[in-house]
């Protein structure tokens, strides 16, 4: 219609809405927005509820990603400031991860009292532990405060994925988890961008820990707007051991094995990246940081690729492909010296790791009933922690003897086992967790 409210003029024999041959096409008054490639988009549109939960938990993930990565990011500077060898720091990493096994307590509470409050409590503990690292300059406090941070990071990771899985629509669950992981990756990347602060003085690296304390400002918003899970319903608690006896072990043990072997390889491989570039290969710190930001930043696209693929093709094939890519990239980084090969290796390793996040997160949530979902996820996470501890202990024993590259290569053998374990699990794509929870609750009521 024109500005006078008239409809399109009709020319005899031809509708004027169709341009004449040879005449210029008028500009489209409503051009289509630039869209992402199909393999980077969700399989279904997000509802307002989906967008809200992704946004709020994205803030949590960003802060947790930033704060949780500072121990590894500042390793080259903290190690020298604390007068530690690479082997000593590997042992400290192992100690910190051993203490983080206590994070399972947050998940036990979450299965008995709801997901929201334990998640916010862990988020606050993350910020406070980082502030303690920043302002108390002793080695003992460094270990203790980073143990607190690691407990909080593990609790946030487990509970955030559970709450996200239970709130998101089934058709976009893995993609939403990919966005959650992307927010965490942005936090990690922000830490890398701010790393020059650590180069300014011997204790400059402590400033980076202090910045995590800004996360405390988000707590009032989370308390007000973060919803409790729709799937969670108070009821008679079920112990984790009891759940295993009820038949959940057939899903738990393969998942635990995957998490163990992946972490045994990836924890040392990730935490010693800057150490290898700066102190082993004698790269300038700024060049090392640029390489890591650029290559891993591109690789983070795997969070969207993995989310889309897990929602469209399935969790199992996505996870298997992701593990294979991570193995190739990780080995390439530690066995090759050329800058281009290092960049490609970092890209592939990051692509694999990020593709695995939504696929494995969805499997971990969908294979267990609501009553023990958070606790089961926490024990799978604890298996990953035990894997990282094993990796660091092996590192403490071997790095100073045979070198970092050969040590990481030896740890990579576990990823081959992980691929076979993934294929033992059932496919869970499209499962409705809210409906399953209600069915389970009805059954329990009837049996009672």
Q: What stretches in the chain show pLDDT beneath 70?
A: 1-36, 39, 201, 234-240, 242-243, 245, 432-448
Could you give the domains of the chain?
A: 46-225+240-433 (1.20.1250.20)
**CA within 13 Å, CB half, 51:** 5
Q: What is the pLDDT of residue 90?
A: 74
Q: What is the pLDDT of residues 22-69, one digit of tens each?
A: 445 555 444 444 566 776 778 788 888 889 999 999 999 999 999 998
Residue 431's pLDDT is 74
pLDDT of residue 122: 95
Backbone dihedral region for residue 189 (phi beyond 0: left; psi -120 to 50: alpha; all else: beta): alpha
Q: Residue 47 is encoded by which pair of tokens? A: 């509802």
pLDDT the model gives residue 13: 41
In this prediction the pTM is 0.73
Q: Where are the alpha helices (DSSP H) in 278-369?
A: 285-299, 302-312, 315-335, 339-366
- Identify the pLDDT of residue 35: 67
Tens-digit pLDDT profile for residues 102-134? 888 898 888 888 889 999 999 999 999 999 988
- Centroid of chain to Cα 387: 17
Q: Is 347 helix (H, G, I), strand (E, B) or coil?
A: helix
Q: Hey, what are 17's tokens?
A: 């809405």
Helices 433-447 and 139-167, interaxial angle, to 10°? Answer: 80
Whether 332 contacts 344, CB under 8 Å: yes
Determine which helix (DSSP H) or strand (DSSP E) holds 15, and give its type and residue range: strand 14-15
pLDDT for 344 = 93
Cβ pair 342, 333 in contact under 8 A? yes
Structure tokens at 354: 């990020």
- Confidence at residue 107, expressed as pLDDT on a 0 to 100 scale: 86
Spatial separation of the C-alpha atoms in residues 98 and 224, rounded to whole Å: 34
């Amino acid at each position: 219609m024109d500005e006078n409210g008239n409809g399109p003029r009709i020319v005899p024999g031809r509708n004027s809405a169709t341009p004449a041959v040879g005449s210029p096409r008028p500009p489209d008054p409503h051009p289509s927005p630039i869209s992402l490639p199909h393999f980077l988009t969700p399989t279904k549109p997000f509802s307002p509820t989906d967008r809200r939960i992704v946004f709020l938990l994205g803030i949590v993930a960003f802060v947790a990603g930033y704060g949780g990565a500072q121990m590894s990011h500042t390793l080259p500077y903290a190690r020298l400031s604390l007068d530690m060898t690479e082997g000593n720091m590997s042992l400290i990493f192992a100690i910190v991860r051993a203490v983080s096994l206590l994070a399972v307590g947050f998940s036990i509470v979450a299965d008995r009292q709801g997901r929201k409050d334990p998640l916010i409590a862990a988020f606050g503990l993350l910020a406070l532990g980082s502030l303690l690292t920043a302002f108390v300059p002793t080695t003992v406090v460094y270990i203790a405060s980073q143990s607190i941070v690691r407990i909080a990071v593990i609790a946030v990771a487990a509970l955030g994925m559970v709450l996200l899985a239970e709130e998101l629509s089934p058709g976009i669950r893995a993609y939403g988890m990919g966005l959650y992981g992307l927010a965490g990756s942005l936090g990690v990347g922000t830490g890398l961008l701010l790393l020059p602060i650590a180069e300014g003085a011997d204790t400059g690296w402590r400033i980076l820990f202090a910045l995590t304390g800004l996360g405390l400002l988000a707590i009032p918003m989370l308390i007000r707007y973060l919803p409790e899970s729709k799937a969670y319903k108070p009821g008679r608690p079920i112990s984790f051991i009891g759940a295993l006896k009820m038949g959940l072990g057939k899903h738990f043990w393969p998942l635990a094995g995957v998490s163990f072997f992946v972490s045994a390889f990836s924890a040392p491989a990730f935490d010693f990246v800057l150490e290898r570039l700066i102190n082993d290969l004698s790269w300038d710190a700024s060049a090392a940081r640029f390489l890591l930001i650029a290559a891993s930043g591109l690789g983070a696209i795997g969070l969207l690729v993995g989310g889309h693929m897990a929602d469209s093709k399935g969790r199992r094939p996505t996870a298997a492909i992701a593990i294979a890519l991570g193995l190739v990239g990780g080995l390439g980084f530690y066995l090759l010296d050329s800058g281009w090969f290092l960049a490609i290796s970092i890209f592939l390793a990051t692509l694999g790791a990020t593709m695995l996040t939504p696929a494995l997160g969805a499997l971990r949530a969908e294979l267990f009933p609501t009553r023990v979902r958070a606790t089961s996820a926490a024990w799978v996470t604890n298996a990953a922690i035990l894997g990282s501890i094993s990796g660091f202990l092996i590192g403490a024993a071997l790095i100073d003897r045979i070198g970092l590259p050969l040590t990481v290569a030896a740890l990579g053998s576990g990823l081959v086992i992980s691929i076979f374990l993934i294929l033992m699990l059932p496919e869970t794509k499209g499962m409705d967790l809210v409906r399953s929870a209600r069915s389970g609750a009805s059954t329990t009521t009837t049996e009672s």
